[in-house]
Homo-oligomer: A and B are copies of this chain.
Amino acid sequence: MTKNRYVIEPIGIIRSKLTDLADAPMQGIEGGYEAWLELSLQVAEGLFGIKAGDHLIVLTWLHLAQRDTLQVHPRGRQEAPLKGVFATRSQDRPNPIGLHQVRVLEVAGQKLKVAPMEAIDGTPIVDIKPVLSQKNDR
């Protein structure tokens, strides 16, 4: 087993009206919000080629997650049998990376307006990728 550790330096931050985790939908498809991805100026040129209408996968660091959780009751229902976190989308997991499939509504400098986004205001952004299809460039 590797003992290496790797350091993530966020490339930006989510700006959203959604500020309370208790109000957050469990998945964007269940009612996410419009949000701005505010990229750091240092990585802004990495956005070159992204335009309104594009479908992207946004990777976030779910900074409020419990990293020592390995099993959960799916969707927080105590009556549901425990499941391994890797069999669920629980935010609580050893490396709490969130995946969010969004559409770009607007590009303004190093900011992208996207929807739907269920991560709360202040969530760090780790990476952005195009949605994978046979046509996408590597």
Binding site for B on A (CB under 8 A): 1-2, 4-13, 26-27, 29, 38, 40, 43, 45-50, 54, 56-57, 59, 61, 63, 70-71, 74-76, 80, 82-90, 93-95, 97, 99, 101, 122, 124, 126-130, 132, 134, 136-138
Contacts and interface: CB of A to CB of B under 8 A. Distances in A.
A11 B138 contact: no
Copies per complex of this chain: 2
Nearest to A59: B97
Nearest to A50: B87
A86 B50 CA distance: 8
29 contacts: A1-B13, A2-B122, A4-B10, A4-B124, A6-B7, A6-B8, A7-B7, A7-B8, A29-B132, A43-B70, A45-B84, A46-B70, A46-B71, A48-B71, A48-B82, A49-B88, A50-B84, A56-B86, A57-B99, A74-B138, A80-B137, A83-B137, A86-B128, A89-B132, A89-B136, A89-B138, A93-B127, A94-B127, A99-B132
Contacts of A88: 49, 129-130, 136-138
Given A89-B132, A89-B136, A137-B88, A11 B49 contact: no
Contacts of A26: 138
A137 B13 contact: no
